[in-house]
Structure 1
Amino acid sequence: MERGSLYRTGLMDGEYQPEFTAYYFKQWDELHMSFHRHDSTEIMYILSGVCRVEVRTPEHLSPVGKQLKKGEFILLDAGVPHRLIVEPNSPCRMLNIEFRFAPSSGRFPSLRQCLDGAGREVAAMLTRPFQYVVLRDPEEIYRTLKSLVLELDRQHAEEGEGDSAMVRLLFAELLISLSRLRDEHESGNHQEMDYYVKQCLGYLHENYDREIRVEDAAGIVNLHPGYLQRIFKLHTGETLMQYLTRLRMDKAAMLLLHTNIPVADIADYVGVGSRQYFHALFKKHMGVTPIEYRNSLHAQKDAPDTISEDF
């Protein structure tokens, strides 16, 4: 029986435990790897930079290339030929983890027991064939991966082995998150999620001058705040508050450039209560202070013709 594959091992039909063959953080500055394969399932998670993963599949005569950037990852089934390419002057940092399955020792709950009642998404992923899947992470996967790796390190340091109840529970949590993310990626739920995200974006653009919490936006679209955060990050690449801050700073830049509103009052116009915090945020996002931005050569050039009469 295949014990390196998520969907060929039969995790829900027997008593198995995860066996980790490799896990590491790695900064690649330049790399042109040869095609190779593992007898384990592999996750390559991009922490920063970009890379290219090429995969050989029976359906294509030539390798299929996928470019990955920060917050994206590829899930590769066991035995699938692949290679990693990192171009010069374009470094990539990643977290890599490879795992297969072994009969459960019985000391701790098996994966089948940990996953009992996990839902249809897990059952679908463990039975539906795939060679590779590229997904964008709303941060849940990385949090679990990081916790899992740290726990493996701790177990090795303390006991000389990497199996514990915590390891199995974290791995089960990883499988559940992977299955739900894959299901969202492949199902028709994307249209519904698009609708909610667009509603949320509209609310942010209409109310950025007021205090906004995630709970406020979630109430507008009638979703749980955690779920809204997840689909918002999945669709925009930013958290809701990161998007709101960027929106506010863009509006502040527009007001500084095209109106004569006093700099001290701009913070109120974009919903930042503290003027000192506004100055710090603006400099972080624009690289200069609000006063420096208004007094820039570009602002001096355009201001005379674009001063608003509305203020």
Structure 2
Amino acid sequence: MSMTARKLGGLFPVDAEQEAGTEIQPHVYAYYFKQWRDFRMPEPHRHESTEIMFVMSGTCRVEVLDSAVELKKGEFIVIGFNVPHRLIVENSCRMLNLEFGFRPGNLGTLSFRQLRAGEPELEDLLAEPAPYLVLRDPDDVYHSLKSLVLELDAHGTQGSGLSHVLFAQLLIRIARLREEQAADQGRPEDRYVRQSLDFLSQNYDRDIRVTDVASAVNLHPGYLQRIFKSATGRTLIDALTDIRMEKAKMLLKQTNIPVTEIYDYVGIRSRQYFHAVFKKHTNRTPLEYRQSEGVQLWGY
């Protein structure tokens, strides 16, 4: 059964024989940036591929089957293969579109089957039965999508090793975002807690205050501290300290950065304070930790 023979159903055209174990690889059919102004597509159309429509600026409406989806900056829709849809733009909308599918083939060192097996969110996404999916991007998906498009510009839609990796990264980011937003629908507070932890993980090397985290997630500092403590059992500062200590342990164990400099890599400005906090967390000084664990440089 070929992809072109597939009927409407689900987001991705993954054939029965591929599902049975044949190695597959992604294939991009088309991609483009487009600034739309006062545009109304006359009739719905469809593709024998999956399409991502990402709104970079402005607003638009996508009519899919019997639904009308309003999209604004930072939102995107994934439309399944053979799903009829049309675009309506009343003012202006700049979009990045990608049309893709899968075909038999091997990614070389990267097995798409193994990738799916190791990423349950990706497996769930590929099995999604809905004809379309709407998500709001925290910036991760756009950067993956843009990196893929730039690689395709350089090497063509036949794909390079890097484009295959970037495509897999894009799907994994979409899959994880889908899971996160589905979970957030149950308790809105959980979204703010997750966003706060993401902010701490990305900025632990800086001098961070509670007000910085609250500003990043658009909440009052006092309210954020209450919901964070309720959800995690820790304060924001406790969580930041835990992240810093885990990073310090990794640097002590897996790099040859001098022990006397580690504190500066994890956002702590006092060597003495770092030593005191590290010993409290591990019952060892940084030097004792390195000596007991040994430096295990990658590749050795």
Q: Same fold (TM over 0.5)?
A: yes
Instruction: Tell me the distance in 1 between the aligned counterparts of 2:161 and 2:190.
Output: 35
* Residues 193, 94 of structure 1: alpha-carbon distance in 2 compared, 3 angstrom cutoff: same
In the superposition, the TM-score normalised over structure 1's length comes to: 0.58
Distance 1:174 1:2 in 2: 25
> What CA deviation, in whole Å up to 9, does each residue of 1:177-216 have, x standing for no partner?
1111111222357515246269942327899xxxxxxxxx
Shift of 1:152: 0.5
CA contact (8 A) 1:53 1:84 kept: yes
Instruction: Give 1:39-54 correspondences, 5 Å limit.
Output: 39-54=48-63
C-alpha displacement at 1:219, in angstroms? Answer: 3.3
Distance 1:114 1:8 in 2: 15
Contact 1:108/1:164 (8 A) holds in 2: no
Quick one: which amino acid aligns to residue 112 of structure 1? R
Cα 1:94–1:82 change in 2 (3 A) is same
Match status 1:93 vs 2:111: no
Q: Report the Cα distance in structure 2 between the residues aligned to 1:206 and 1:66, rounded to whole angstroms.
A: 32
Whole-Å Cα distance in 2 between the matches of residues 177 and 69 of structure 1? 20
Structure 1's 116 and 65: CA in aligned 2 closer, same or farther, altered over 3 A? same
Name the counterpart of 2:121. 121
Distance between the aligned counterparts of 1:221 and 1:2, measured in 2? 54
Shift of 1:2: 5.6
In structure 2, relative to structure 1, the CA distance for the partners of 1:2 and 1:70 (3 Å cut) is farther
Distance 1:114 1:194 in 2: 27
The reply on whether 1:16 has 2:27 as its aligned counterpart is no
Aligned to 1:55: 64
Q: Counterpart in 1 of 2:38?
A: 30
Deviation at 1:173, TM superposition (A): 0.6
The alpha-carbon distance between structure 1 residues 106 and 20, as it changes in their structure 2 partners (threshold 3 A), is closer
Give the Cα–Cα distance (whole angstroms) in 1 for the partners of residues 224 and 169 of structure 2. Answer: 38
> What is the aligned-residue identity percentage?
45
Q: 1:105 to 1:122 in 2, by over 3 A?
A: closer
1:165 CA drift (Å): 1.2
Query: Is 2:107–2:161's contact at 8 Å kept on the other side of the alignment?
Result: no
Give per-residue Cα distances to partners, 1:272-299, cap 9 Å, x unaligned.
xxxxxxxxxxxxxxxxxxxxxxxxxxxx
Structure 1 residues 53-81: Cα deviation after superposition (integer angstroms, max 9, x where no partner) = 0011xxxxxx2101100000000010110
The TM-score normalised by the length of structure 2 is 0.60
Write the deviation string for residues 223-259 of structure 1: whole angstroms up to 9, x where unpaired.
799xxxxxxxxxxxxxxxxxxxxxxxxxxxxxxxxxx
State which of 186, 190, 193 in structure 2 corresponds to 1:193. Answer: 190
What secondary structure sits across from 1:52 in the alignment?
A: strand
Equivalent of residue 64 in structure 1, options 64, 67, 89: 67
Is 1:219 paired with 2:236?
Answer: yes
Task: Please say if residues 14 and 102 of structure 2, whose CA atoms lie closer than 8 Å, have aligned partners that are also in contact.
Answer: no
Which moves more between the two structures, 193-202 or 102-111?
193-202
Evaluate the alpha carbon distance shift between residue 3 and residue 177 of structure 1 in structure 2; reply closer, same or farther with a 3 A threshold: farther
Q: Are residue 141 (structure 1) and residue 141 (structure 2) matched? A: yes
CA shift in 2, pair 1:29/1:105, >3 Å: same
The answer to whether the 8 Å contact 1:20/1:97 transfers is: yes
Residue 107 of structure 1 and its aligned partner are, at CA, apart by: 5.0
Deviation for aligned residue 1:19:
1.2
The two structures, once aligned, show a CA RMSD in angstroms of 3.1
Q: Is 1:173 equivalent to 2:169 in the alignment?
A: yes
Contact 1:115 1:172 in 2 (8 A): no
Give yes or no for contact 1:41–1:77 (8 Å, CA) kept in 2: yes
CA, structure 1 residues 175+195, in 2 after alignment: closer, same or farther (shift >3 Å)? closer
Gaps of 5+ in 1: 57-62, 208-217, 226-311
Once the two structures are TM-superposed, the CA of residue 115 in structure 1 deviates from its matched residue by 3.9
Query: 1:116-150 CA distances to partner (integer Å, 9 max, x unpaired)?
Result: 412x2111112231111111000000000000000
Partner AA of 1:98 in structure 2? E
SS in 2 for 1:30: strand
Q: Does 1:74 align with 2:70?
A: no
- 1:6 is the counterpart of 2:12: yes
Partners of 1:36 and 1:206 lie apart in 2 by 46
The match for 2:160 is 164
In 1, Cα distance between equivalents of 2:222 and 2:117: 40
